[in-house]
Amino acid sequence: MATLFDQVAAIHYWEPIIFRTTIIFVVLSTVSVAIRIIAKLQTKSPFGLDDAFIITAQLFNYVESGIYIHAGNVGKGVKTMFAAPYPEYTKWATIAGMLYTPTVLCISVSVLLFYRRIFPIQSIKRLVTVFLIAHVLWGLATFFGSVFICYPIELAWADIITQSQNMQKCMQYPKFFLATMSLELGLNAAVLALPLKQVLGLQLNAKTRIMLVFVFLLGGVSLITGIIRIYKTYLPGDPYIDFSADIFWLLIHLNTALIAASLPIYRPLMRACVGFMSSTLKKVYGSGYDSKRSAGSSVGASGKGYSQFSDKQSQRSLVSAETEGFGAVHVGHEHQMEPLEVRKGHISVQRTYQVV
């Protein structure tokens, strides 16, 4: 029999690293999804199918991560690939791996449905439909392939001797792994590039457009971890891959994808937080100032040289204008806003003026 990669040494090397990584990244992805939900509640935005799919993906992630931790505990007792408890370790690792495809599929569907909602353009909707079909087909093929990698199924976690005597009853897993991962990364790269043309074409200032592009491209981090996963775990000429290293990179890949899928939803919450902080700081540090008049101030609709409105509303509208890139006046070299406070019982005003 040909020399095999030492899976036992890999199990003992990676087990403590996988445990710590799982805890850290599951916490990060949980916080990410929680912030997404808070953003929806704070901005009173309706929950959609994209939110349902990302929550489902997170639930799959919990189950998969828990099984991998259990497999790692079993792996502590593995001394050889030819006897127990190696088959039990392989069984739990294989079962957890079966959940990878539905988790990734839910994340991808969530992102595509989000695009469909925020870009109500017929061409985008058609492309989203095409990619949804492609992802579902990939998901079904990959899931059933991972379940029936061997027939009977339990042969997938038999001891090495039994597997070597029944190789004709199993697919060549390294080739299956390489093909399905490459196809997944190709589909995800296409989905990542899908909104860029629309974002760059928006009538926003350059700074806002660049920020939006950056947010969407953060999904590229997940692509990078997927490429590293293939590079680090694929063993040319070996009938197996480095399963322990694969678990490590798989968990990073999944959780970074979950985090990246929620990042575009944070923008409304960030705007609300900036508005709250601006209003609070104004109340704390702005009191005690006398009202001021400034020559060259912009004339509001009232024609009195300023616009009058409640403090809370003015802060929200100004922060919104600055954050979204709409409504702000940019003339000459710079654009300044001067907060004014008057004594109690008087109207609070804020002036916008130009420096040319």
Q: Please write the tens of the pLDDT for every residue from 192-233.
A: 888 887 777 777 677 777 777 777 777 888 899 999 999 999
pLDDT at 268: 58
Report the C-alpha gap between 173 and 220 in whole angstroms. 26
pLDDT at 27: 97
* pLDDT tens string 117-134: 888 888 889 999 999 999
pLDDT at 278: 54
Judge whether residue 39 has pLDDT over 50. Answer: yes
Q: Residues 258, 195, 53, 46: is their CA dihedral positive or negative?
A: positive
Report the C-alpha gap between 338 and 351 in whole angstroms. 6
* pLDDT tens string 275-333: 545 565 556 665 443 444 444 444 344 443 434 434 444 333 333 333 343 333 333 33
Domain boundaries, the chain: 7-270, 289-355
Q: Calculate the CA dihedral of residues 30, 32, 33, 39 and round it to 10 degrees.
A: 140
Pick the CATH number of 7-270 from 3.30.1490, 3.40.630, 1.20.1070, 1.10.4160: 1.20.1070
Other beta carbons within 10 angstroms of residue 201's beta carbon come to 9
pLDDT at 97: 95
Report the C-alpha gap between 263 and 279 in whole angstroms. 25
* pLDDT tens string 232-279: 999 988 889 999 999 999 999 999 999 999 887 776 555 555 454 556
| Average pLDDT taken over every residue of the chain | 79
Report the C-alpha gap between 154 and 76 in whole angstroms. 22
The phi, psi pair for 170, rounded to 5°, reads -125, 150
pLDDT at 37: 92
* pTM of this prediction exceeds 0.85: no
pLDDT at 275: 54
